[in-house]
Amino acid sequence: MIIYDGINKAVFNEKIRTGKSDVFSVTWQDRIGSASMVTSTWDIPAGWTKSNELTNVSVVEDGETFTNTNRALITVPIGEAPGRYQITNNQTFDDDRDLPAIFFVVVA
């Protein structure tokens, strides 16, 4: 899981093969402050699919609990051209902040 700090671009360093899926997660626990999460959207490349979207959940990863986390299962279509692609989780808070978490993935 990527721990996104709201400032730097989050980079997902693993390669994904065409026709395969992976879970993308971003936690907003260090950026939420006293605000509440309002909406979460995922922008993915054309032709890719997302499912199992979860918003504002707690996730345990390697024995550590992360709160205020968004997750999505994202699938790369069979035949996708190799290259670097961008996936973005856009989070809106009730204090009028809109923050993106940007993932870069490599399709091999």
CA separation for the pair 23, 97 (Å, rounded):
25
Give me the residues paired with residue 79 across strands.
none
Scored b (16 or more CB within 10 A) or e, 15-33 reads ebeeeeebebbbbbeebbe
Cα–Cα distance list, 107 to 19, 24, 25, 95 (Å): 10, 15, 18, 36
pLDDT digits (tens, 9 = 90+) for 58-107: 988 888 888 889 999 999 999 999 999 999 999 999 999 998 888 888 89
What pTM did the predictor assign?
Answer: 0.84
Choosing among 3.90.25.10, 3.90.180.10, 3.30.930.10, 2.60.40.10, the CATH entry for 15-107 is: 2.60.40.10
Q: Which of 1-10, 20-29, 48-57, 84-93 has the lowest mean pLDDT?
A: 1-10
